[in-house]
Every structure is written in structure tokens, then in C-alpha cells.
Structure 1
Amino acid sequence: MSPLEKAQKQLQAGKWAAALKSAQIGLKKAQTDWRLNGIAGQSLLNLGKPKQAAIFLDRSRKSGPDDNEAHTLLAMALIRSDRLEDALLVLEKTPLTPRNELKTQLMIGHIAIAREDAAAVSVAAKRVEAINPDHPESLMLSANACSLNGLNEESAKFFEKAAETGALGLVPYHEAVRHYMRAAQTEASTRVLNAVLEIAPEDGETLLLAANDAAQNGQTDLALERYERLLQKVPAHAESLKSLAHTLTSEALLELEPRIDKALQRHKKRSSEAALLHFAKAEVFKRAHADDEAAAQSYARANEIEFEARQPFINNLQSEFDLLTSAPFDGPETSSSESIVTPVFVIGLPRSGTTLVEQILSAHSSVVPFGEQSAMRQAVKSVYENASYPSGETIKKEYLSRLPSTWSKTPFFVDKLPANYRFVRAIFAAFPNAKIIMADRNPVDTAWSSWRNAFPSEHMTYTFDQASMAEEFNFFRKYTQLWGQKFGDRILTLPYEGTVTDLEAATKTLAQYIGFDWEEAMTRPQDVQRAITTASVHQARQAVYQSSINLGDARAQELKDFIANLDPDLWPELDL
């Protein structure tokens, strides 16, 4: 039996190491044999050595026939080696045949996903759909195309279709749940979760999603039960332990403490899991032991690890500010027509009271909350790409196309993405009738609250470094000062401190500003039954309290780097 025949049989049998060895023996006498090079490359790829595999597969591609599978295998090896641009060049030159066309287009789509190139993903998705619209991976590609374009509801539906094929395991179920949550489709996310819980009731990722879903919907006991079930399977599961640390009573935290300590021993000292566990440990020190000094050390440790793990972190805040405030519009800034629906945007810094404002508004019978939507950023993405705003009418159309489909069925809806403070100019261009409420809170209190939380979004990386957080706060003040000069009382500034000390007065101010009749239910925001997906989920279930006012004053030492980097000209109310 020749080395080639032997290597082919071993490859078919899944004996990768043996196939590689046989191919290498054959290549000693026939270095350019495309089949032997292909077998060696495919074996190395299966053995988890993509960089070495790429060398052999490139030889096979160059010396073999055009329909040689080495083209797509080489692209796969390059992708796994993080050489996305090289992989794309290979795929673009791959001769398409009925056998490889679907795989080639799918890989082009996956590269586009990795590059977060929404337009390229959409093109690839359409090509794949034309070849086989019901292929599971085709459905997944379409789902990702929708996701990158901010169409979370449509994305979830594609993920559901992919899940129904049964060919991709639980992944599409999980993605459907996440996207339904982002689209504020609570009933749909719970429906999919219940379906997957029937299929795999003990799957770890499913239990985590189910626990988070229960917590977000105010089902605390069910959430605790699900976190505990997950911890029975994975005792060192950091996210579950952190969630329990924020939920349990101070007495129960004492029983949780040794479990956190044991989990810390299981994870690498500078991993994201360790950071979450230090956040959990800080809660134990703060609430169970009343040891503020030890809690501060744990918070500092957690933030340091998390910030380091997310490096490199680059904030181009000045260039973004210049772009968003001065880029020309494609047409008059107020060209958009009036809408029969009044959009209400709640903006501010993270942890400044935006969730409280949303809860108050959600208690009104005429209001539908949509949570934190990225739709406005998507609608003005041409500003970042071409340094030019589209017309107000175009922004309006693009924005509404990315909202949950129920937007047109209510007189008022709320978009509570704090970072929309950057897009006030675009909001008023698209919706002259828009209501914008800016949550305003003492910046030191806001920073302290952010410092105590672990935000998963990459856009929130700055909260793990005090100097970066101060820079973000400074630019927030620059934006809001400019919008105040330009739009005046079209924006309502709602101080957090005044809201929690006189809730009834604050709710009446909101009702008058927005233009609906005040309802007494607005003074009981904790009773609103809806999913809360932000870091405020635990506080939002409690009656409004005043204990979080001036918390930062007692934490000046722990926030010294933050305070030192605040611009005194922008924050004259502070004694800097």
C-alpha cells in the first residue's frame, strides 16, 4: 500500500496523527503532490494546528485542480489563525463549484461577522439564501446579518428557524433568547427558554439564561433556584456566584462566602471569572461584614483585572464629539415629518437614574418601554462611515425599522439607552416631537455606582478604569452643555436626588413635559411588571430609596483617580 493510499484510509477513519505521518513519509519523495499536501494540511487542521496546516493546504491549492477542496480548507486554517484578510482573499479567488459554493459563501459571511461588517454579512446571507434558504447555517448567517444591522426581532426569528432544524444543537436557541431580550420581546424569550428547558433542562448555558431571565422579570425565587442548579453542575461558575451575591440577604451571604473563596482558587488570578468573583466578594465584605475598606480593595482588584483583560482600550472621544456635533446633514436638520407616536428618549450616564425614569414612565397606561435599544446608533452609522448625517426622514425610517414591531401600537414608547446623549441632534432631526429626558446625578455618586458593577458590554470598558471613566464623564458634560445651548427646554433635565426625595413632584413634572395626564401608579415604579436587563435590575424591584445620595462623598479616597481627572471647568458645582 502506497503512503498516499494509507494516508487516505487513515484520514477517512479519523486517525489524524497517523494520516499526517503517512502523508509526510510520502512527501519526502513527492513534495508537490497536491493530494498528500492536502491530507497533511487537513490532518493538522483537525489536530488543532491551523498555522502549520495552512502551509500544506496552500501547496495543495496551488498544485492541484481547481475543484481541490484545499481552497476552502486553507481559508478555514487562516480564519483559525486569525488571518481574516488572507482568508477572504483565498475565498474570493476560489473557483466556485456546486460542491463548494455554499461552504465558500458561508465562510465569507463568517469572516464578515468577525469583522462586524454588517453590509458584507447581508450580501453573503443573500447569496447563501439563494443557494439553500433552509440550510441551518444559512439561517444562522441571516440571523447574524439582522443582528449586526440592529434588527433584533428579525434576528431572533431566524435563530428560531435554525434551532427548529435540530442540526446545530442548542446554540441557535440561546441566540434567539438573547435577541428577543434585546428586542424587548419578553413573552417570546420566555417561550423559547421554556422550549429549550424541556430539551436540555440541565444544560449550563440554558440554566444561566433561564436564571437571568427570571431575575430580569422579577421572579427572584425562581432565579435563585436556577442559579443554584447551575452551581451544582459547575460549583465555580463566576457569573452565578456574582448574581447570588447581589441578590441574597446579608445573612445568606455568609454562607456564600466560602463558595466564592473556593471558586477563586479554581480560576486564573487575572481572568474575567476572577474579576466577577472579586465583585461578588466585595458584596460580602460590604453587606455581610460591613467592612468598607476590604470591599473597596475587592472592587479595585475586580476593576483592575477586567480593564486589563479588555485591553487594548482606545477612546477617541474628541474626534467622535467633533464628528457628531459638526458633521453636515443630508438635508435640513428638521426635515422629518411629525409622527403620530411620540418617542421618549431617556439619556444620561450609566447608573445615573435612567432605569428609575424608565420604570416611572412604564407605570403609565399609555407608555410602552423598549429598554436599551441601539437603533439610533445604527440609524446614523453613516456619520461614522462617511462623516455625513443622512436626512432626518432617513434617520427616522432607519431607526423605526430596528425597533420592536409594536412601536406603532402605542402613543408613547421609551428608548432608554443612556449613551444616546451623543445623538440628540439626530433625534430631533428625525423626530421633532421627541421628548428627551436627561437623568442628572452627582458624578461622584454615579462613578461609585459604576465602579461597583461589572458591565459586560465592550462599550462600557471605560467604567473599569477611573481615568477613562472621568474622560467619558467630561465628554458627557460637553455634549449636554452644547445640546442645552442649542435645544434649550426641549430637553428635560431630571435630577436624581430630587426624584428620589420627592417622587410625586418628579412624576408630575415628567407627565407635564411629555404631555399626558399624571397617573398615581407612576409613584410606584417598583410595581411595574416587565423585564429589566440592566445592572439596575435588583434596585428597580425595590421601593424608591434615598440611601444612594452622596454615597460617593464617603468614597473620595477610593475614587481619587476619577476625581483628579474631572475637568473643573465642566463641573463647577464640584469642589475640585
Structure 2
Amino acid sequence: MTLQNDLQSALGFLNQGKFKQALKQSKGGMKRHKSHPDFPNIAGISLSGLGKHRDAIPYFKKALALAPGFHDARKNLAQTLLFLQQGEPAMKLLERVLKDQPGDQAALYLQAQAHLVMNAPEAAIVTATAALARDPRQPRMLRLRATAWNTLGDEKAALADYQAAVKVNPNDADALQNASLLLARLMRQDEATETARKAVAVAPQNVEARRRLASQLISNGDSAAARGQCLALMELDPKDTQVLEMLARISSRDQNAELLPVAQKALKAAAPRSLDRANVSFALARIADQAGDKEAFAAHNDEANACMAAQTPYDYEGSERQFSRIMAAFPDVITPAETAPEGPRPIYVVGMPRSGTTLTETVIGLHPDVFPLGERGVPAFLLHPCLDKDQDFTPEAARDFTADDISRLPEMPKGTRAYVDKMPDNYRLLGHLGTAYPDAQFVHLCRDPRDVALSIWRGYFSGSSLTYAYDLKAMAHRFNLYGRLMQHWRQVMPGRIYDLRYETFVADIEGESRKLADFCGLTWVEDMAHPERHEGQVLTLSNTQVRQTAHTRSIGKWEKYADVLAPFIDGLNPEIWPEIKG
């Protein structure tokens, strides 16, 4: 075959996504046309397309050896290195390209990507912004900059870029589903749902788009519609264990009985200690629990938690260091900032996960002058240097934190006097928040730790912040740190923390909501005694419970599982939990 025929054949397969055939043709071309750089370049692209990134590298290097000015091969090599998380060598290659071709948009995109791989999101934003100044109609670059903004915790800026990408390409399902998630986090529920529906409409086969819609529908309390999306997802990918877990979580007992054979088959296929096995085991635990089979429920739940613990082990020493650092930063009674910032004041609802923070936020948020914001991750993100890097929380640092935090608040209805942030883990930040916001109120949920542990043990938490949730001994360790820290806050923040007893709260929702309103500086309204009237989204595991009338059914439920919870109960410090260990 001639050189031109060989090239056309290899490129034809490559353009069709037939990487094996393209690899075969390019290797044949390399033998027949030893000095031509296109063939090793095509071979490298084909191997990368097959997921064999390391194998692709020598081919790109061969292409560059044959033609040192072959910048397409250099960019392909850089992209392959980025797949392998090798940011620095990729950056050097891209600098060479941009030296010769300063306006090369593909190289600029890869350079911004390299900054992200190197954990430099600010630099990624600078590079992406410069590229977009040359050509603003680049959805891919806008999505990358949105990722960088997200890494920096700036959800508003990330949303703006995703929405800009959609303006350029209304059928950009990736930008739509990411925008939907950010709209949900910014409490724009209707827009989040509509945007998720658009993502599915433009890309019905897109698994991530359907998963986003299903999650949003669950948050909205529309389990029936969410189940329909999950079933559609199962048809698209029957091996998707994440959807299987989601489906089991929102289905009725009868529906889950039909799902049981599917879950059992998936369990056989799941690798030991894998995330897939965790998903399936959580699904089977839910099905067994609904069927009243305690032994099967406990066995599956133990398996699920063991798999998750293997994926994300708990850092005992790191947790000890962080909590010690926090208490050392606030050794004496805290002096708040002299002036409260303008705008709605914050009400922080804190405690351990599954302690009643969602119910409490819902009750406070039913006041017409209060806007519930759910779980905001912004304060912890902004305070990361203080929590993990020993940065002092000076008055200047407090002012900077307040300004950044307020700038990232979502829009709130006119007339809003206060907002609720119910991120449970904010109990670590009370010193910082109490300093920065002199008008802030802090509501601390107190609940029998054994019931809390049972609820955590039964739950499936996304992300990496709750690594203790999957190991009962680790959970006891974290509870002890939490209990000791709350004792400290009560000493250095006298009168600023309202300890709300969950068991009393649910037994007398009206009486306790009146006391809660008084502490928060609100005039009690009748809706506050009816959390079931809440119609907004709930982005946590409590999205179904909070829409029910307040009840006491979960109080003391731990006793049924005392044997399973023994490692946790035995690990509780009696000096911190005297009422439990006495």
C-alpha cells in the first residue's frame, strides 16, 4: 500500500473509534514507512483510546524523535501524561508548544488541566480565563474553569461557567447536569430540577445526567419519579451498583422483594472489599430490613461498612491532631468581632450526622423570615488553613473569612432576617464562626449516641469527610473527640450554644420549637410545629423522614442492635458520656 492509503486507512479506523483496528493499521504503517511520524502518533492515540496510557507513551516519544516539531504528538503525549496524573512533565511539554504557538487553544486547555492535576486551581483559572478572552465560545474550557472554581469552593462562579457553556451549546449534557447540582446546592430547587430534566432530554443515554435527575427528585421528595429514573438507569447499565443502592433506598417493601434477585446476582459479581460490593450490600441490607430479617440486615450492613472502611480508612492520629489544634486556638473565652456584618444573620445547627439537624433546620426554616440553606461546605473550605495548617485566626483573617463566606451565600428572598446552615460537622468551627459572626446563634443537637451510631451505621454517606462512619471503633473515637470539643466550646462560648435534646424535641415539637424560636430571636409561628409541611428540597439522608410528622419511633432503637453496636458502645469514654456509661 502507498503512504497515503496507509494513513487514510489508519485514520479512518481512528475517526470511527475503532482503536484496535487503528492500532493494527498504524503498526503496519510504521513497518512500511519507518521515518513517518504520523503512524506512531496514531498508534499512541489508539492505545490511549483503549485505556493503555502507559503503553502509548513510547509511541508518542518515537513520533517526536522522528519529528521534533510535531506539536500534535507533543500535545497527545501531554494529555496521556495527564491521564496518568503526571502534571509536571505534561506542563513542560505544553510550555514548548505554547512557546512556538502562543494561541494554541488545545494546548492552553491542556495547560489548565495540568494546573488542576498539580493542585493549582488558581493557576488553572488564570490560564482558562486568558484562553477564553481570545475565544469565549469554548464549552470545554468553560467546563474546566468551572471545575477549578468548584475546587476552590466557589459554587456561584462554577455555576456561571456551566451556564455559559450551555449558552454556547444548549445540548451540553455535562454542563447541564453539573449546573443542576450547583443550583441545588444554592437552594434553587425548581431550576435544579428543570436543568436536570433538560440534561436527560438532550442526552437520554447519558448515565450521569439521569443519575443527577434521580438524585434531585429524591431531594424533592418525589420518590416515585426518582424510581422511574433509576429503573431507566438500570436498563442503560444493569451493572451500575450505585443506582441499585439508590433504587433499594427509595423502593417499597414489595418493590424491593422483586429487586432482591437482581441484587443477589450483583453481589456474586462484585469484587471483595470493592465499592461495587458496598453498594450492593447496602441495597441488600435495606431489603432485609424491610422484610424484618435482622440477621441478614446486620450481615449485609456489616459487609457494606467493611467495604467502605477499606476504601476510605479513618485517620485516628490526624483527627486527634486536628481537634487538639482547634482547642489550642481558642484557649480562653472567645471575644467576637465588634461589628456584625450587614445582611441576614446565621443560625448554625450542629451535631453529629443523623442527630436531628435536618429536622431542626426544617423547623427553624418554616419561619417566614428565615431561609434554610442546608449543609454549606463553604465555611469549612475557607477555614481549612486554620484547621489543618496552623494558620492563626487573626482579626484580619476573621474579616477576610466573613467577606468570602458572605460573597458565596446564595440569593435569598427579600426580607430574610436569618439563614440556617445545618452542616453537622460545623461543630468543629464554632470558635471561628463565633468570632467572625457576633450575631450568630448556635443550636447543638444532643441525642443518645447509640441511636446516632445506629443511624450512621445504617447509612451510606458520599464523599470522604465521614470516614469514621464505616467502622464502629473509629466512630467511637470520633464521638469522643466531638464530645470533648463540645465541652470546650461551652466553656469558652458561655451562653451562645443552645443544647437541644432530640428526644425531648420530637416528643413535644410545639413546646420545644417555641423555646428554639426564642433562642433564635424569632417570634414563634404555628408552622414551626409542623415540619411535615416543608416543601423544599432536602439533600441529605433525611429527605424522606423530615417530610413526616415528628415521631419518637427511632428513640431507643439501638437496643435491638446492642450486640452489633458493642464495639462502639465499649469505645465511648465514660468521662465524656457519663449518662451512657454510668
Specify if TM > 0.5: yes
Equivalent residue number for residue 12 of structure 1: 11
Which one of the candidate residues 536, 549, 557 is aligned to 1:530? 536
The residue matched to 1:184 in structure 2 has which SS? coil
Equivalent residue number for residue 323 of structure 1: 325
**Matches of 2:340 and 2:92, distance apart in 1:** 45
Deviation at 1:54, TM superposition (A): 1.7
**Matches of 1:474 and 1:527, distance apart in 2:** 36
Sequence identity of aligned pairs in percent? Answer: 26
Which one of the candidate residues 211, 227, 247 is aligned to 1:208? 211
Deviation at 1:463, TM superposition (A): 0.7
Equivalent residue number for residue 44 of structure 1: 47
Q: Does residue 501 of the first structure (1) align with residue 519 of the second (2)?
A: no
Deviation at 1:217, TM superposition (A): 1.2
Matches within 5 A, 1:112-511: 112-114=115-117, 116-166=119-169, 169-201=172-204, 203-288=206-291, 290-310=292-312, 316-327=318-329, 334=337, 337-383=340-386, 384-385=388-389, 387-389=391-393, 391-406=397-412, 410-511=416-517
Contact (CA 8 Å) 2:330, 2:431: kept in 1 or not?
no
The residue matched to 1:458 in structure 2 has which SS? coil
Deviation at 1:451, TM superposition (A): 0.5
Deviation at 1:202, TM superposition (A): 5.8
**Matches of 2:222 and 2:45, distance apart in 1:** 50
- Greater mean alpha carbon deviation, residues 382-391 or residues 422-431: 382-391
Deviation at 1:192, TM superposition (A): 0.8
Q: Does residue 549 of the first structure (1) align with residue 551 of the second (2)?
A: no
- Greater mean alpha carbon deviation, residues 241-250 or residues 291-300: 241-250
Amino acid at match of 2:410: P
What TM-score results when the alignment is normalised by the length of structure 2?
0.89
Q: Does residue 78 of the first structure (1) align with residue 81 of the second (2)?
A: yes
Contact (CA 8 Å) 1:245, 1:280: kept in 2 or not?
yes
Deviation at 1:312, TM superposition (A): 8.4
Contact (CA 8 Å) 2:351, 2:425: kept in 1 or not?
yes
Amino acid at match of 2:523: D
Contact (CA 8 Å) 2:88, 2:118: kept in 1 or not?
no
Per-residue Cα deviation, 1:460-516 (whole angstroms, up to 9, x for no partner): 222112222222212212221111110022011111111111212210111010101
Contact (CA 8 Å) 1:74, 1:87: kept in 2 or not?
yes
Contact (CA 8 Å) 1:246, 1:283: kept in 2 or not?
yes
Equivalent residue number for residue 113 of structure 2: 110
Amino acid at match of 2:353: P
Contact (CA 8 Å) 1:183, 1:370: kept in 2 or not?
yes
Contact (CA 8 Å) 1:151, 1:401: kept in 2 or not?
no
Q: 1:282 to 1:474 in 2, by over 3 A?
A: same
Q: 1:209 to 1:94 in 2, by over 3 A?
A: same
Deviation at 1:5, TM superposition (A): 5.7
Amino acid at match of 1:228: L
The residue matched to 1:178 in structure 2 has which SS? helix
Amino acid at match of 2:405: Y
Q: 1:55 to 1:96 in 2, by over 3 A?
A: same
Per-residue Cα deviation, 1:442-473 (whole angstroms, up to 9, x for no partner): 11111110010111111122211222222221
Contact (CA 8 Å) 1:132, 1:138: kept in 2 or not?
no
**Matches of 1:314 and 1:475, distance apart in 2:** 10
**Matches of 2:180 and 2:255, distance apart in 1:** 30
Q: 1:250 to 1:6 in 2, by over 3 A?
A: closer
The residue matched to 2:347 in structure 1 has which SS? strand
Deviation at 1:116, TM superposition (A): 4.8
The residue matched to 1:395 in structure 2 has which SS? helix
Contact (CA 8 Å) 1:16, 1:46: kept in 2 or not?
no
Contact (CA 8 Å) 1:136, 1:165: kept in 2 or not?
yes
The residue matched to 2:500 in structure 1 has which SS? strand
- Greater mean alpha carbon deviation, residues 554-563 or residues 201-210: 201-210
- Greater mean alpha carbon deviation, residues 444-453 or residues 73-82: 73-82
Deviation at 1:44, TM superposition (A): 3.4
Deviation at 1:540, TM superposition (A): 0.9
Deviation at 1:246, TM superposition (A): 3.2
**Matches of 1:145 and 1:165, distance apart in 2:** 19
Contact (CA 8 Å) 1:23, 1:40: kept in 2 or not?
no
Amino acid at match of 2:11: Q
Contact (CA 8 Å) 1:337, 1:393: kept in 2 or not?
no
The residue matched to 1:438 in structure 2 has which SS? strand
Contact (CA 8 Å) 1:16, 1:47: kept in 2 or not?
no
Contact (CA 8 Å) 2:171, 2:202: kept in 1 or not?
no
The residue matched to 2:551 in structure 1 has which SS? coil
Amino acid at match of 2:155: N
**Matches of 1:115 and 1:352, distance apart in 2:** 38
Per-residue Cα deviation, 1:341-384 (whole angstroms, up to 9, x for no partner): 21111111111111110111111111111111111023223324
Per-residue Cα deviation, 1:222-263 (whole angstroms, up to 9, x for no partner): 223333333344445434443343334434433332333234
The residue matched to 2:412 in structure 1 has which SS? helix
**Matches of 2:170 and 2:24, distance apart in 1:** 30
**Matches of 2:197 and 2:154, distance apart in 1:** 23
Unaligned runs of 5+ in 1: none
Q: 1:237 to 1:70 in 2, by over 3 A?
A: closer
Unaligned runs of 5+ in 2: 15-20
**Matches of 2:104 and 2:187, distance apart in 1:** 37
Contact (CA 8 Å) 2:22, 2:42: kept in 1 or not?
no
- Greater mean alpha carbon deviation, residues 304-313 or residues 131-140: 304-313
Contact (CA 8 Å) 2:336, 2:437: kept in 1 or not?
no
What TM-score results when the alignment is normalised by the length of structure 1?
0.90
Deviation at 1:100, TM superposition (A): 6.4
The residue matched to 1:493 in structure 2 has which SS? strand
Q: 1:100 to 1:339 in 2, by over 3 A?
A: closer
The residue matched to 1:574 in structure 2 has which SS? helix
Amino acid at match of 1:105: L
**Matches of 1:477 and 1:257, distance apart in 2:** 40
The residue matched to 2:371 in structure 1 has which SS? strand
Contact (CA 8 Å) 2:244, 2:283: kept in 1 or not?
yes
Q: 1:333 to 1:521 in 2, by over 3 A?
A: closer
**Matches of 2:414 and 2:384, distance apart in 1:** 24
Equivalent residue number for residue 58 of structure 2: 55
**Matches of 1:337 and 1:63, distance apart in 2:** 66
Equivalent residue number for residue 17 of structure 2: none
The residue matched to 1:405 in structure 2 has which SS? coil
**Matches of 1:96 and 1:333, distance apart in 2:** 52
**Matches of 1:41 and 1:200, distance apart in 2:** 30
Amino acid at match of 2:371: V
Deviation at 1:203, TM superposition (A): 4.4
**Matches of 1:184 and 1:202, distance apart in 2:** 27
The residue matched to 2:71 in structure 1 has which SS? coil
Amino acid at match of 2:530: R
Q: 1:488 to 1:372 in 2, by over 3 A?
A: same
**Matches of 1:386 and 1:266, distance apart in 2:** 46
